[in-house]
Amino acid sequence: MKVKLLRYTADAELLCGTAALTSTKSGSPSEIFKKMDTETAKRIIKHVTSYGHVSVIEHASFTFSIEGVSRAMTHQLVRHRVASFTQQSQRYVTYDTLEKYVTPRTISKNAEAKDIFDGTLEKISETYQKLLNLGVPKEDARFILPNAAKTNIIVTMNARELRHFFNLRCCARAQWEIREIATEMLKQTKKAAPALFENAGPSCIELGYCIEGKMKPPECNVEEIKKRFKEL
């Protein structure tokens, strides 16, 4: 799998800092923006978002290329409605590349499970090809393709939605593939706009406790998680 932050709003922190000051200053946004510096932006964003005025960070958007992931992962990703997506279409792209599917580690490290998995997917692949050869259109032949099928997707989220996405999907309770993708996205956004993603990560980092209650994974330790995400 590969995650690449393709583009993000220029001067994202300065822009969100300007939005934050626009509500309390008499000057125009353009005047505030002209005078804005990184330190002021960082301070004001932290202050304003700490009392719940999080909409100011919606002015910064981030676009990622997410490549070679499973359809099982993208099915979860596209549940996040405050985002924009474009995914490789199985109506137009034939399922015939060399590396067609994602193999979970629990399967790849178990020889017997891997044999069953690979054999089944090979059979699916052959059947898919046979259907195409019989003249069945790609949009119908794809009905037999598995959750493991590889795909590419481009996603754009604003910083507020990203923080919410990280709360849910960097959490140990999230499925491993979307968790790995989310963690890599966070690593790249933290580098691009640190002021917008301070303390971003699973929700326990900001809350100080696990919202999962009885479902909290036994291995989770909030202090360790805080440290790990700070050093990301």
Rule CB under 6 A: say whether 46 interacts with ligand FAD. Answer: no
**Which one, 161 or 184, has the nearer CB to ligand FAD?**
161
Active-site annotation holds for 169 = yes
Rule CB under 6 A: say whether 162 interacts with ligand FAD. Answer: no
Please pick, among 43, 169, 173, 228, the residue that the annotation labels catalytic.
Answer: 169
The pairs formed by 162-165 with CB atoms below 8 angstroms and a separation of 24 or more are: 162/62, 162/186, 162/189, 162/197, 162/200, 163/54, 163/57, 163/196, 163/197, 163/200, 164/80, 164/82, 165/80, 165/83
CB of 145 to ligand FAD, least distance (A): 21
The residue count for the chain: 232
Q: Residue ranges of the alpha helices (H) in the chain?
A: 12-22, 29-35, 38-50, 71-77, 105-108, 111-133, 138-141, 159-169, 176-192, 204-207, 222-230
Q: Which residue in 24, 51, 81, 99 binds ligand FAD (CB under 6 A)?
A: 81
CB of 131 to ligand FAD, least distance (A): 30
**Which one, 69 or 141, has the nearer CB to ligand FAD?**
69
**Which one, 48 or 170, has the nearer CB to ligand FAD?**
170
| Contact call for residues 96 and 129 (beta carbons, < 8 A) | yes
**Rounded CA gap, 141 and 194, in Å?**
45
| Contact call for residues 46 and 195 (beta carbons, < 8 A) | yes
CB of 209 to ligand FAD, least distance (A): 16
**Which one, 133 or 214, has the nearer CB to ligand FAD?**
214
| Contact call for residues 166 and 182 (beta carbons, < 8 A) | yes
CB of 211 to ligand FAD, least distance (A): 10
**Which one, 81 or 105, has the nearer CB to ligand FAD?**
81
- Give, as ranges, the residues between 132 and 161 that touch ligand FAD (CB under 6 A): 161
For ligand FAD, how many residues bind (rule: CB under 6 A)? 9
Rule CB under 6 A: say whether 214 interacts with ligand FAD. Answer: no
Using only C-alpha atoms, the chain has a radius of gyration, in whole angstroms, of 21
Task: Print the binding letters for residues 170-199 with ligand FAD: x by CB under 6 A, - otherwise.
Answer: ---xx-------------------------
**Rounded CA gap, 5 and 7, in Å?**
6
Residues that bind ligand FAD (CB under 6 A): 79-82, 161, 164, 168, 173-174
